[in-house]
Structure 1
């Protein structure tokens, strides 16, 4: 069974590289964008099975991107895992309220990230 395609939206190249490398190692196809605007351009061409979305980004923050994703018919069904250094209960609540499938606090390790992916996508451990 082919692995899922996962999109990473984060303005920090180091985070993109960390996540991208791990996901590729686990066998996932990976696409990425360094801004919300760039992500929406890419989403017109490709539809991922899951999106990792950073909260704190310039221009358009992660909450704004999430709101647009969830109100657009073409993207509203794509599950989103919020990535953030903000790990307070109010941030987790906002994440759930805004329609995110899950929340992953930075810093995180590869195993924790893989666990979240499998939970959200309903994948079993091979």
Structure 2
């Protein structure tokens, strides 16, 4: 579902004024969001194994502790990335492009990207 959502966003972005710049900026933001999602999905896999092992051993208290630990860790990483993208929002795009117009568009989208990263850092872990 998320892949379809991203595809629809790209298609709708093509209808905007300055579509090339908007599409480039959106692609950069989606790429960064995907990188952060990989961290959270990695925590999801590790947590699933840990919780299953603890429940298999009959230790529900340790399983709850493992869940709380990974939620706090994932949120902390999301918060660090949130602050990072807000602080360096004018420079992040230059990892991907040399265009000032695209970098400006990414800088405008960076607060939304930062909030998305903060909220999406915990969601996969709780799945």
TM-score (norm 2): 0.27
- Structure whose residues are more often strand by fraction: 1
Greater RCO structure (CA 8 Å; 6+ sep): 2
TM-score (norm 1): 0.27
- Structure whose residues are more often helix by fraction: 2
